[in-house]
Amino acid sequence: MNKNRLQNVNELSGVSKRLLYVLEKKDVSGYKLEKDNSGIKQSQISHIKSGRNQPSPDVIDSFLKYFPEINKIWFLTGEGRMENNTTKIKGNNNLNNTGNIGGDILNDSNSQSNCLTESIKTLKKIIEEKEELLKAKDEIINSKDEIINSKDEIINLLKEQLKK
């Protein structure tokens, strides 16, 4: 019964797949992320690769700070282009493709609002997935508790029989 649910733990989410895709395209390893003090540990990347863990909000935040050229909407939802349309000029990394100062600030407030809305939706989905995992683990714990209780009953019966 729980066996099928537990197999889903090792499936990669869209965010995990996109994170690994960016690392491959940028030729960056978990070791390099950790060495560069990105806030992401090599072990976290290994756990994401294996499907053991999904990227946490902290990992997502650190990842997007490490790769500011990555489009946040694409990273969180898979929609749009992988990279922002920004042009970096040596000596001034805060110019975007329109020549306006602003760096990470999106061209208009609607785009920024949409990005935040999509980020919230994605984070809610991650929370729902984590809640499902917790429910599955609770079911496992409950079944183990039932087994322990049954064994305790058997032990007590055996003890009573030994006394006779």
What's the confidence (pLDDT) of residue 6? 35
Q: Are 43 and 28 in contact (CB under 8 A)?
A: no
Provide the residue range defining the domain that includes 89: 2-163
What residues are paired with 67 via a beta bridge? none
106: amino acid identity, one letter: L
Written as one string, the DSSP assignment of 139-161 is HHHHHHHHHHHHHHHHHHHHHHH
What's the confidence (pLDDT) of residue 117? 78
Whole-prediction pTM: 0.49
What's the confidence (pLDDT) of residue 116? 74
What's the confidence (pLDDT) of residue 110? 59
What's the confidence (pLDDT) of residue 129? 83
CA distance 60 to 53: 13
- Residues lower than pLDDT 70 in the chain: 1-10, 86-115
H helical segments located in the chain: 2-7, 14-26, 30-35, 42-50, 57-66, 72-77, 109-163
What's the confidence (pLDDT) of residue 33? 93
What's the confidence (pLDDT) of residue 4? 37
User: How many structural domains does the chain have?
Assistant: 1
